[in-house]
Structure 1
Amino acid sequence: MKITRSGWLVLVCGLLVVAPTWADFNKRIDVSTWLTEHSDLGFKKSEVAAFLAQTKANPSIIPIIRNAPERKWVWSQYGKRMVSDSRIKRGQQFVVENSAQLDRVAQATGVDGAIIAAIAGIESNYGANMGQHLTLRVLATLAFDYPRRRAFFQRQLAEFFRLCYSQGLDPTKVTGSSAGAVGMGQFIPTSYRDFAVDGDGDQRIDLFHSKADNIASIANYLSRHRWQAGAPWLLAVNADAVKPQWVSAKANNKGVALKEWQQRGVLVSNAATQWPQEKFNLYAFTTAGEDEYLLGGANFYAITRYNHSLWYSRAVMDIAQAIATP
């Protein structure tokens, strides 16, 4: 089929509308508008513009953000990958090597050392891999070329500049994950601002170099999201008693009292004796065969505030359980 000149113009204009504009950030109107609206980044506007001028968009990270494991795997595949023998073994070593700091944090926040270790293991392999992506490049790309979460990542970009200014960092040199997270615990900039704490007493919060700050910050994050010391993590259920309408598709902090789960025949442990009014939700975890069901309470929910995935929260608790019971 022959396309007329007017047809070509329509086609080209259509592509310009739907395709991202990978132009240099300092030449883009949307970036200029964003800069005008943000005068509180610590650095001068001209300095921020200069940093962005040194940065190129990285379109390859967008598919990474889009393709969450839950969209193409089942839990059993994800769990096998995340809850590995090597990660558990390294977690046990991490607990031994950092026992004094983990004990202090546990006393202050109630968060178990094994949970902190499990999160550090999943997020950065216990600090061995905190990400090699240039954080400014990641955040600028997602802030201006990922429409679905533009507002979120523009907030992260603004906070990243403030963080670099306060820490005396060159924004063009900082590295982290493909989502713009940094440190052993992989904190996004707003989480760094809101939940990071000084764990080594040097009057400075440094998630880039201080293991103690990272440990204390992970614990503080969970504590601020209502971690309950001593409360059960995950509870086994009688799958035959489960009714589909009882299953929660997403994490929430409402739930049903353990005493009622026991009355329904779902709870198989004696946890209701000690925690009769503690609220738990029933969650399903997909496998190649029949789904697995578990009850998760306030602590399970707290971990889903760190990462909203149900699978992530279960992986953390499975690793922590294995670390705590070698």
Structure 2
Amino acid sequence: SLAIVTLSMLFMLFLGLYLYRHDQIGAQSFFASLVLQSSTFGPFLALANLSTGLSSTLGAARRVLTLFDEEVTVRENEKGACPESSAMAVENLAFAYDDQAILESLSLSFPEGKITGIEGRSGCGKSTLLRLLMRFFDPQAGTARLGDENLKDVQTDFLRTKQSVVLQESVLFTDTLRNNLLAAKPDATDKEIRRACKKASIDTFIDSLDQGLDTMLAESGSSLSSGEKQRIGLARAFLHDGDILLLDEPTSNLDALNEGTILRALDEEAKGKTVVLISHRKGTLSFADHIIEMEELHSHAVQ
């Protein structure tokens, strides 16, 4: 398309010069012909680029339609049980992504009021286990329980209220910092927000911002560092204040100073709660009441 436009412009230029030199057109007509011809190429180039835009549009449409075609894997329970106990357990649990088995014949208990640490190499199923405890997935075999109730039989809204969660990546929205925190507890007061931020060691950073809690965050929190995003995720968990605290590498992006501050806050926050803590760091697991080695469990399951 650009080659055709360039050749056409050159042809018109040389033709105009030829006619001008032979007194067949004037200077005004010569320049007018060049301007009028160049103005006609806009629609032509737009038409030529239509295929590129159309490909992107069709690709986006395919992705949207794929989402519409997704089957619901976990159906919410609106009228289930609401057990008082905060103890959790899994029995003969098995889970696989497609044909790749992640967990097999896994049985564990997470006592109420105790901190259970989980360690193991990447890919051994630690994060998957946490998502099964949150009922983001249902196991293919075995059961996950809250108290004496199968998680499938527990009211989903009650389970979400019961649990506070910190995942490896905190999901942040293009909104104010305040509203990102209020996602954990919409009716929280400023005092509660400040207390949660102090526990997560993010209060000093917030005070350094010109607009404080009313600061707008960029898309996906891209204006923040990994450590700042992780501390916002921790502040959410402290603000939500559920009876069960599920933590997946909560200090992986923090320096030693902030990690120590947050671990002390977690130790205080964990009193009387059921805590499941996943971490690669020995120091992070040091205040757990007992530690589970996922690789040892896998080896026993194979035997």
Normalised by the size of structure 2, how large is the TM-score? 0.26
Q: Which has the higher contact order (CA 8 A, sep 6+)?
A: 2
| Larger strand share, 1 or 2 | 2
Bigger CA radius of gyration: 2
Normalised by the size of structure 1, how large is the TM-score? 0.24
